[in-house]
């Protein structure tokens, strides 16, 4: 894409955002009060969603941000004295796990019929999604692998990093999705280990090794981080392998123990509105609502071959996946 095309794409994205924000009525509710939201990154997205919601409603939001694992840990620690009203996670299977624990309450938001991904019984909805790919350093890699299998090649010996499934919910979802859909199964990860691939850090830490040139590519990294860094001028490219990949919906849900239920419902409605989806797209994530376009500088959902993942089964076997990958790649 030349500089003029990039400028046009950026202007179009900005215009979409302005129009969407204008479409969400400022008077959706001026009820005031408070709301407690626990969110798994990206931090910029959560901050922007909260700021826009506060501006439109007068509701003051207390926001706790961390990784999906740490958010879940905090919820468990607070079970006897829960604080959160709304939870936003980066892992669809984690929503299923919270539902199975009986921690969620159903809600059918006004914009819920637009949601591309919905949990059972209206317990949670995807407000966004990320896809996993092969992100590579364009200064070091001129002919990147177009398939997961092509990464099994002596030329990449010692040059591949994968986010650690023990630290990254998306990485463990990739492992689960691969094992569910691809015939090589765990042998694929064992072969990666033979070629010196390592698991190291969460998504940001793994991607940083590619940006700095310490590694040539990150396997199964979240795409929105790559797009954000590309927009900053980093030498990165991304491939969605031909065999398919995991598209991970990111759920928003209301806890059964919510103290500020009316405000929680307003917030869930907001993130699925055009105004909320404009902020999602601005952060290079895939929108969770039908009819709202992804940022034109990224590949849309229609351009990604998504595996059909059994999320309930994946959630049940996460611990064993983490142990197995640690053994295969260490």
DSSP state of 22: H
Q: Specify the residue for token string 């317990």.
A: 123
The residue count of the chain comes to 330
* Domains 3-129+249-303 and 131-246+304-329 in one fold: yes
309 and 177 in contact (C-beta within 8 Å)? Answer: yes
- The separation between CA 113 and the C-alpha centre of its own chain, rounded to angstroms, equals 21
SS3 category, 160 = strand
pLDDT computed for residue 19 by the predictor: 37
Please name the residues in contact with 102: beta carbons below 8 A apart, sequence gap of 6 or more. 256
Q: What is the 3-state secondary structure (H, E, C) of 65-84?
A: EECHHHHHHHHHHCCCCCCC
SS3 295: coil
Distance CA 177, CA 318 (A): 11
Q: What whole-number distance in Å separates Cα of residue 182 and Cα of residue 186?
A: 9
- Alpha carbons 162 and 166: distance in angstroms, whole number: 11
pLDDT of residue 68: 86
Sequence-ordered alpha helix ranges (H) in 58-148: 68-77, 92-100
Fold of 131-246+304-329: D-Maltodextrin-Binding Protein; domain 2 (3.40.190)
List C-alpha distances in Å: 299 to 12, 207, 235, 294, 316.
15, 19, 18, 8, 31
pLDDT value at residue 330: 67
Protein fold of 3-129+249-303: D-Maltodextrin-Binding Protein; domain 2 (3.40.190)
Chain center to CA of 168: 11
Q: Quote the pLDDT of residue 111.
A: 85
The tens-digit pLDDT sequence of the chain (330 residues) is 433 344 334 434 443 333 333 334 333 444 579 999 999 978 899 999 999 999 999 999 999 999 888 899 999 999 999 999 999 999 898 898 899 999 999 999 988 889 999 998 899 999 999 999 999 999 999 999 999 999 999 999 999 999 998 888 889 999 999 999 999 999 999 999 999 999 999 899 999 999 999 999 999 999 999 999 999 999 999 999 999 999 999 999 999 999 999 999 999 999 999 999 999 999 999 999 999 999 999 999 999 999 999 998 998 898 899 888 888 876
Q: What is the DSSP secondary structure assignment for residue 103, as one 8-state letter? A: -
Rg (CA), the chain: 20
Domain boundaries, the chain: 3-129+249-303, 131-246+304-329
Q: What is the pLDDT of residue 27?
A: 36
* Gap between the Cα atoms of 223 and 286, Å rounded: 10
How crowded is residue 30: how many other Cβ atoms within 10 Å of its Cβ?
Answer: 10
């Amino acid at each position: 894409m030349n500089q003029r095309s990039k400028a046009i794409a950026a202007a179009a994205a900005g215009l979409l955002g302005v129009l969407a924000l204008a479409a969400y009525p400022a008077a959706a509710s001026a009820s005031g009060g408070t709301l407690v939201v626990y969110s798994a990154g990206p931090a910029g997205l959560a901050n922007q969603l909260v700021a826009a919601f506060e501006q439109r409603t007068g509701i003051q939001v207390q926001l706790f941000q961390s990784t999906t694992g740490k958010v879940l840990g905090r919820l468990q620690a607070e079970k006897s004295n829960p604080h959160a009203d709304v939870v936003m996670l980066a892992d669809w299977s984690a929503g299923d796990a919270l539902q199975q624990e009986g921690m969620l309450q159903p809600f059918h938001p006004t914009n819920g019929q637009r949601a591309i991904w919905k949990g059972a019984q209206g317990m949670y909805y995807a407000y966004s999604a990320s896809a996993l790919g092969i992100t590579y350093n364009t200064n070091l890699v001129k002919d990147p692998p177009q398939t997961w299998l092509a990464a099994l090649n002596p030329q990449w010996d010692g040059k591949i990093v994968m986010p650690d499934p023990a630290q990254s919910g998306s990485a463990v979802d990739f492992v689960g999705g691969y094992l569910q859909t691809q015939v090589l199964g765990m042998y694929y990860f064992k072969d990666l280990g033979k070629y010196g691939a390592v698991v190291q850090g969460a998504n940001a830490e793994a991607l940083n090794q590619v940006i700095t040139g310490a590694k040539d590519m990150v396997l199964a990294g979240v795409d929105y981080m790559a797009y954000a860094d590309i927009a900053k001028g980093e030498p990165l490219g991304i491939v969605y392998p031909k065999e398919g990949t995991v598209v991970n919906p990111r759920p928003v849900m209301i806890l059964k123990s919510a103290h500020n239920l009316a405000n929680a419902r307003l917030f869930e409605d907001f993130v699925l509105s055009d105004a909320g989806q404009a902020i999602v797209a601005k952060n290079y994530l895939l929108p969770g609502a039908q009819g709202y376009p992804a940022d034109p500088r990224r590949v849309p959902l229609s351009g990604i071959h998504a595996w059909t993942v059994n999320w309930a089964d994946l959630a049940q076997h996460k611990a064993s996946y983490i142990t197995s990958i640690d053994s295969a790649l260490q």
